[in-house]
Every structure is written in structure tokens, then in C-alpha cells.
A and B are shown apart, each in its own frame.
Chain A
Amino acid sequence: MMDAPLSPAALVAAENDKAVSRRSRFLTLPALAIVFVFGVLPLVLICIYSFLKPYQNGGVLWQFSTDAYLNFLFQRDIFDDTLQFAPDFLIIYGRSIWYALFTTVVCLLLGFPTAYFMATRPPEQRNWWVLLITIPFWSNLLVRTVAIMFIIRDEGLINDALIYFHIIDKPIVMLYTDFAIILGLLYSFLPFMILPLYSSLEKMDFRLVEAGYDLYASRWQVLKRIIIPLAKPGIVAGSLLVFIPALGAYVPPLILGGGRHLMIGDLIAQQFGSGRNWPLGSAQALILMAAVLVALYFYSRNEAGPVKHG
């Protein structure tokens, strides 16, 4: 059998295998095309735009210029045409990073106990909890953010109720503050923290917790030495899923911040809208992307050797 030439059936099978692999490669083409047209191409376009000059009514002038990047840090004096350091954009970037970091940490603190609770329910109950967590996704983010606005504004549900019960005389100003923006960010991104944490914790073997107690670990030590290290993939994934979109968030700061506390997302949108400075918007978007990539690079280097399950 070994020495005999391949039987006709085997040859046909080999041909079929080749055909199948050719066909399956062919089947990936639509997805690749979409990624290229809507992912790679716009990125290239943005890259090119950032090195051009703005056209008066939006759009670009096809002339090479590094003004967009210069304008990010400096302002050209109207009278003597010298460059002056203008930290306005940097402040917005700093604020965005601070908001995003704060949101990530609070999401982690709120999300971990929630995910732990879900993962320790009987298996048949867990899917219900996952469903409850995903309910917010059933309606539009904009609608939900406007709803928050109605709850926290001066004549909103909270203030009206507090005044009605004579707990306060004057409404507490919550809308259009840092608090409002962070509340909006927390609300928008908490599920993105809970779900990866849950999937990590759900896979965990809780007999390890029992073993920890058996070996004299206190509850805090079990959490620190066993549960958290094993949930690390979920913590990393959840943190990235919250931090990155929170950094570029557009809707919550726009609606709840009232345009007074801009975040990067709003800033970029402004350049393409009322600012009519597409190159500057493009440069700002690329700088954000570069910052995220650099941060991720250092993050992954510090987290050398991610924890593997099993």
C-alpha cells in the first residue's frame, strides 16, 4: 500500500482538498475588500490629508504642508507671523487621557465585583445576567445619553426629587460638568469591562479558590494571589476595550459636557465640521492613534508573559 502509487480516489481527494482551500481563500475576499476599502484606505487618506493645506470651505488644497502638525502645538501670530507655543490642544489631549484613565479604573472597580457575582451564579442563571448587561446595547447611545441629561439636569429627575422632599433648596449643578462627562463615559463603557471580565472569571476553576483557603490563604490573599492573576486576561482586555474608545469618545462629552469640556473626539469632529480645517483634524486623529499605539506597546512590554489558562 505504501509503495503503490496513489489510488484514483486518493488523487481525487487531494484535488478536492486543493479546491476547497482555493475556494475558502476566495471566500475571504469580500471581508478583505471591506477591511481595505473602509479601514486601510481612509487611514491612508487621513495620512495624506494631514500633510495638505485646508481649503476655505472644507476639503483640502493639494499643496504639501506641515502646518497641521505645527498648529497642533503652536499658533502663528497674526501680526509678526512668529510661532508661539499654544498648549490648548495638548490640554484637551491631557484631559481626555485623564478622563479615559479614570473611567477605566472606576469601570474596573465596579465591573470586577459584578462579573464575579455573575460568574458565581448557577450556570443556567448566568445567561440571564449577561442578557441584562447587554440590554443598554438595544437602544442608541445618543438616546441613552440624552436620557442621562434629563436625569441629571437642574430641572431633572434627581434635582426635582431632592427639592420636592426638601433635602435641598437649590438644584445641584451636575450637567455640563466633569462629573457629567465621566458619568456618561462610565455608563457607556461599563459593559465592555464586565463582559471580558465575566468570560475570564467564568472559565476559572473555583476549586482553586477552595484550595487557596485550604492552604491558609485569607479571603484577601485568595483574591490577590489566585483570582486576580487568573482573571488577568479579562482585566487586560476589558481595560483596553474601555480605555481606547473612552479616549476618543464623542457623544458623552458633546451632550453632557455642553461643549465646555472638549475631549479629543469632539475636537477632531470640530475640525471637520465648523472648523473647516481637514488637515488639522487628520493630524489630530493620527496623533491620537500614535499615542494609543505607543501606550499599548509599553503596556504589552510591561505585562511581559501574559497569564495563560490551563
Chain B
Amino acid sequence: MLYGEDIAVLPPYKRPVNTVFQSYALFPHMTVAQNIGFGLEMQGKPKAEIDARVAEMLKLVRMEPMKDRKTSQISGGQQQRVALARALAPKPKVLLLDEPLSALDYKLRKDMQIELKRLQTETGITFIFVTHDQEEALTMSDRIAVMSKGKILQVGSPHDIYDRPAVRFVADFIGETNFLSGAVKSSAKGISKVKLDCGPEIAATADDGLKSQGKVTVVIRPEHSNLCALKQGHIKGVLENAVYFGTDTHYHVKLDDGTHFMVRQQNEGGSGQNGFKVGAAVGISIDEGTARILRD
């Protein structure tokens, strides 16, 4: 259904939807301008209108100097922009982007992400952006649908998806997460006391309607926890490894029941590791309100 019209029954060439293909699929026997004008030409638009729209599109994607080049004579990023312009030229109601940035190198991808955002705002067209890059999904979207095996598992804002994952797959797929199993002891006002399998009892929030009894899984994002002195932590374990990432350090801690827990902590200058030694027993403090009970 699109704007109240069932388009699944229409053949592809009658749907008001255009696609940016993963491989771009630019026509090698046409120039940049001919590629961009192809959709309009197929719709039977008058030549003057096509020329005007092509010029507008060339300007939008900043490819004016290249308009008479063959598509084999421009770089990958430029091909990407031509593919975008070609798909946008017929003013589709919805633009599908099938992993459009996966063929670009990191730096170019970052530039194109910003470019895409700009184009989306300027044209006001709905973009449906397929990606396997969770970071890309989080930074570019207004709404995310996480799919697995052909089913939509959760639809929501990037915030919702990241901070309030509904199911284990979503929590695991988007970003890094710690899963701790335990049993609910008591609940009140959406806050449950959970006795973790590794020993201690912690507070975790649960969505309405979630079971507040029996065995549950608690998720804690690595950046919502901090290493601390053994006695101050909510949970404890042995520091197994510390991986330095520049802006922050990832601490891999083995809990008493054998579960691995990762803590991501910002570096505070000085010598890395913030004074924690591998092999030492450490405590982990969890930011208030960040532990969540998951629907399994």
C-alpha cells in the first residue's frame, strides 16, 4: 500500500517508486545526463522538461561538469551520485536504496551519508535505506525496522531500537550488548529486582506487560557500565583483557558464573587502562536505570 493505493499488483514499471541499486546499475552506453534523464524519457515527458529536470538533478548531486562523460569514466563516488540523481529525477513517492554505500571506502561512505541526509531533506522524498551497517542505520534514520529472516522484529526510532530493544536479536544486532540471565525476585512500578546467576541482585526496568516472574535476560550496554573498586561494584569479576581504542577502552571481564561482560569506558588521559590491571578482581558499576529486562 502506498498513499492508499495497492501497488503490489502493479508491474514494477508502473510503481511510483525508484531504486538506487547496490551495484548502481548505470547504463554504460549512455552519458551521465542520459542516465539521469532515462526515467523521465520513459515516462514520455517533453524534452524541455527532461532537460530542465536533468540540469536540476546534476546541480543537486554536484555533477554538472561531468554530464557528458560516459559512466565508465567517473569514480565510484560519482557513479553513486549519478545513480541517486537518476532515481530521484522522476520524483518518486518513495526512494529505495539497496545498500547503496557498501561499495565505497570508509571516508567516501561518511561523506555520502551526509550527502544523502542533505538530499533527503532537500527533496522531502521518503527514503527506504537498506543496510547491514548498524552504525549507518542509527545515524541516518528517522525510523528503523530491524528485520531477520524476512520478518520485521522491531520498528522504532534509532533511540528506541538502541536503548529499548524489544527482543534479543535486536539487542544483539544493533551495537554491542551484555546479556545476563537471572530470576525476578520482586517488581514494583516497572522496576524489578533481579537475582543474577552470577550472584548479586540488581534493579532492572521492564516494559509494561512483560512477565515479572521467573527467569529473564537482562541487557546492559557496555557504555552504561564502569569498572570500579571491587566493593563499590554492582557485580564483580576478573579483568581478562583490555583493548585500547583511542577514545575508549574495552574491558573484558569474566563474571563468577563464567559469563563474559564487556565494559566500555572513556579514556581519561594518562596511561590507558585507567589503573586497572589484567588478572585483578574488579567491580562493575551499572548506571542507574540502564539495565533492562528483555522479552525473549
Contacts and interface: CB of A to CB of B under 8 A. Distances in A.
Given A213-B12, A215-B90, A217-B42, A229 B29 contact: yes
B222 interface: no
B39 interface: yes
Nearest to A216: B42
Interface string A31-75: 000000000000000000000000000000000000000000000
A210 B13 contact: no
A221 B21 CA distance: 20
A200 B234 CA distance: 68
Contacts, number: 59
A interface, over-half SS:
helix
Interface in A219-257: 221, 225-226, 229-230
A283 B42 CA distance: 53
Contacts of A218: 13, 42
Contact of A214 (B18, B26, B43): B18
A215 B42 CA distance: 7
Given A215-B39, A215-B90, A216-B42, A309 B28 contact: yes
Contacts of A230: 28-29
Interface string B154-191: 00000000000000000000000000000000000000
A155 interface: no
A230 B71 CA distance: 14
- Chain B: interface size category: 20 to 34
A146 interface: no
A122 interface: no
A11 interface: no
B90 A210 contact: no
A211 B90 contact: no
B90 A216 contact: yes
Max count, chain B CB within 10 A of own CB: residue among A210, A212, A213, A215: A215
Contacts of A301: none
Contacts of B129: none
B259 interface: no
- Chain A: interface size category: 20 to 34
B148 interface: no
B276 interface: no
Given A216-B42, A216-B43, A211 B28 contact: no
Contacts of B23: 205, 207
A308 B39 CA distance: 22
A133 to B, nearest CB: 27
Contacts of A226: 27
B interface, over-half SS:
mixed
Interface string B15-49: 00111010101111100000000110011000000
Nearest to B39: A215
B241 interface: no
Contacts of A213: 11-13
Contacts of B38: 212, 215, 217, 225
B29 A211 contact: no
A30 interface: no
Contacts of B18: 214-215
A191 B237 CA distance: 75
B72 interface: yes
Given A213-B13, A214-B19, A215-B18, A221 B42 contact: yes
A216 B15 CA distance: 8
Nearest to B16: A216
B86 interface: yes
B12 A214 contact: yes
Contact of A208 (B11, B27, B42, B90): B27
Given A215-B86, A229-B29, A310-B72, A210 B42 contact: no
B21 A211 contact: yes
Contact of B21 (A210, A217, A307, A310): A210
Interface in A275-308: 307-308
A207 B22 CA distance: 10
A100 to B, nearest CB: 29
B133 to A, nearest CB: 21
B22 to A, nearest CB: 9
Nearest to A307: B29
Nearest to A214: B19
A226 B11 CA distance: 19
A230 B38 CA distance: 16
Contacts of A309: 28
Max count, chain B CB within 10 A of own CB: residue among A208, A210, A211, A212: A211
Interface in A166-215: 205, 207-208, 210-215
Contacts of A310: 28, 72
Contacts of A308: 28, 72
Report the 5 A-B pairs with minimum CB-CB distance, sorted nearest first.
Answer: A215-B39, A211-B25, A216-B42, A207-B25, A217-B42
5 contacts: A208-B25, A208-B28, A211-B27, A214-B13, A216-B42
Interface of B: 11-14, 17-19, 21, 23, 25-29, 38-39, 42-43, 72, 86-87, 90
Given A207-B21, A213-B11, A215-B39, 7 more contacts: A205-B25, A210-B25, A213-B13, A216-B13, A218-B42, A221-B42, A229-B29
